[in-house]
Structure 1
């Protein structure tokens, strides 16, 4: 700002200096012309023999008075010189006109420079204000991002510690079950019972390791979304087929209420993973002998897919927290899981321009709503 101000002042000073120089040059030109005219008149009058040269010089150098002025006025009136421009007027006027033009041009340039500077300052202030607003906005965003990153790092450390602690129990139980299943000291029925228990512990370990693998994929940006045209009904059917065994084990029906014959623009593999995660959660939290409903509604640019269960629902204060990594709600104590599924689902859906939200049903249960882009 200081450099710009000094530059403007420099321009104004330059204009003033040039103008003063031009006025001075014009003044000296006028004096030279007047001197030349006076000397020429003196030479011309010197040819009059009635006057001596000394008298002429004395007449030219003598100061004027009222008497000479009155006589001069009488002569002007007598010969008509007061009604026309004299030679003196023709000689002086061009210099006066030039000086006036120089002053006008100088004033005009200074005013233009002044108003241009005001405009530039206004634009600069607007730009500075815009940059300041952008800075504060980005600073706020970075602050939120940093806070979220620290929170997530804390959750990761806590969850990894929790998973490591949880691994000890199934590993110890698996070791004991395998020892008994392979031991000759127990009856075949007892050995079979512990063999089945070992399979359950292996499945539990597999679930935990699968959660850790998905965490690794998210942290290293291995999830690449490649959307293509795909049938909504077909994708929902395949998602149901991927969890149907778990539903049958709990005697839970999955009912396709109304699914549009829509074509969506999504990544098949990861969207199938997202839908399967939501359906699997609905199965885990639903009581036995209940029903899960799946329906959809097509709008202008996207389709809304609803998955409704008859479980305990989700407390209102947790409805935005369940999409965080490793978050386990108050209803999750008796349900196996790593707290990764819904976070992964949200990331997949949002990467494709969609949304996911949950609200509780009026009677009982949760209603997950996913939006997916239409072709």
Structure 2
């Protein structure tokens, strides 16, 4: 029921109350007038014939009394014979009407009270509904603002990614362009031409590696690739990671040593976790001197498994240890800047491990190199 109908119901109840109240007053006034008229008749009759007082009183009141009475006021005479105002109302049937009016009046009060209570309850419901809608509106606005912020952030990250990719590709493309221009405009010996071709192949290979890293990073960040965690052997995952860089280590004469550890089966994505371990191993082989070693150690803790990869490379300055896991960060050391790379591998390692509720950090190695410490939960 809407508020308009409630107002009409309340108005009708009020009018009914007024009608009953006015009618009751009229009935009461009529009863009083009737009683006064009977008293006047009684007084007039007894004044005319004092001896017939009792007879006259019996006729009017319907009661008999053998005692005589003095003339006087009619009301007193009627009351003398036990005839009161209430008797007059009962005798004339007015008491029934008064009782009925009382019932109607009480019903009107109840109806008005019920309508008022219903109106109050409906208003409270409307207020609660308005508060609920207001809350939902604020929630929607907050969600919309968060979505706008996320879209704005993604737009900024996309712009930054495009800028970084352009910057990373600019060097090999410029090198290729210059190489082709020199080959076209200059007479070169066979040895010089072979050197240019070798350099061009290196630039093309570098661009391929860059694009592959960019594709992996973009697919992982945008959710196109979802990690599929399952109960698998950690030892097999490490073997896969070592296998991906074994030939590169062999060419530099770098030994990869793995301390023996028990078979561990934990929930992880074997393909992407091998990618994360492989990126760390690739950096170790890339920057470590020829003839050095890379050591892998696995430790089982109470709630997680720790994988440590230590090398004998140049190490990482303390001020850069928190930056090397950022996208496209390659460090400030000269040997790092001169070595081929895109600054994506360690960033992917952090993303892969964190998405499996793992961690990664770096600290100084025992022989001046670096030790990367990676963890994965056992469950």
Name the TM-score, length of structure 1 as normaliser: 0.67
Find out whether 1:339 has 2:343 as its counterpart.
yes
CA separation of 1:142 and 1:358: change in aligned 2, threshold 3 A: farther
1:143 aligned onto 2:149 = yes
Hey, what does 2:361 align to over in structure 1? Answer: 358
Helix, strand or coil: the match of 2:175? helix
Consecutive unaligned residues of structure 1, counting only runs of 5 or more, are 1-6, 42-49, 52-66
- 1:197-230 CA deviation, whole Å, 9 max, x = no partner? 8546524531321221342455466535444442
Query: Following the alignment from structure 1 to structure 2, what is the Cα–Cα distance between the partners of residues 252 and 348?
Result: 26
Moved more, 92-101 or 210-219: 210-219
Indicate yes or no: 2:200 matched with 1:206.
Answer: no
- Residues 235-289 of structure 1: CA deviation (Å, up to 9, x unaligned): 1012112112323444443332464522234443333223211221233244555
Tell me the secondary structure at the aligned position of residue 316 of structure 2. coil
Q: Compared with structure 1, are the counterparts of its residues 344 and 85 closer, same or farther at alpha carbon in structure 2 (3 Å cutoff)?
A: farther
Q: Which residue of 1 aligns with 2:4?
A: 10
1:245-284 counterparts in 2 under 5 A?
245-257=247-259, 259-284=261-286
Segment drifting more, 229-238 vs 102-111? 102-111
Shift of 1:103: 1.9
How many Å apart are 1:370 and its aligned residue? Answer: 3.9
CA distance in 1, matches of 2:160, 2:89: 99
Residue 242 (structure 1) aligns with: 244
Give the aligned partner of residue 111 of structure 1: 117
* 2-structure distance, mates of 1:80, 1:195: 141
1:171-186 superposed matches below 5 A? 172=178
Matched-pair contact (CA < 8 Å) for 1:354–1:370: no
Aligned residues: 339
Query: After alignment, is 109-118 or 27-36 more displaced?
Result: 27-36
Asked if 2 retains the 8 angstrom alpha-carbon contact of 1:293 and 1:307, the reply is yes
User: Within 1, Cα distance between the matches of 2:30 and 2:88?
Assistant: 22
Structure 2, gaps ≥5 residues long: 36-43, 46-72
Q: Does the alignment pair 1:160 with 2:166? A: yes
- Inter-partner Cα distance in structure 2 for 1:107 and 1:320: 74
User: Which residue, 296, 307, 311 being the options, matches 2:309?
Assistant: 307
In structure 2, the CA distance between the partners of 1:137 and 1:88, relative to structure 1 (3 Å rule), is same
For 2:279 and 2:13, the matched residues in 1 are separated by 82
SS in 1 for 2:326: coil
Question: Is 207-216 or 80-89 further displaced after alignment?
Answer: 80-89
Check the 8 A contact 1:258/1:294 in 2, yes or no: no
TM-score in terms of structure 2 length: 0.67
Contact 1:15 1:110 survives alignment (8 Å):
no
Contact 1:323-1:343 within 8 A present in 2 as well: yes
Asked if residue 93 in structure 1 is aligned to residue 99 in structure 2, the reply is yes
Instruction: Say which SS state the counterpart of residue 333 (structure 1) adopts.
Output: helix
Structure 2 Cα separation of the partners of residues 253 and 68 of structure 1: 137
C-alpha distance 13-276 of structure 1, shift in aligned 2 (>3 A): same
Whether the 8 Å CA contact 2:31–2:88 is kept in 1: the answer is no
Change (3 A) 1:362 1:350: closer
Q: Is the 1:34–1:91 contact (alpha carbons within 8 Å) kept by the matching residues of 2?
A: no
User: Counterpart in 2 of 1:58?
Assistant: none
Provide the rounded CA distance (Å) in 2 between the counterparts of 1:74 and 1:286. 133
CA contact (8 A) 1:356 1:368 kept: no
Give the conservation status (yes or no) of the 8 Å contact 2:315–2:364. Answer: no
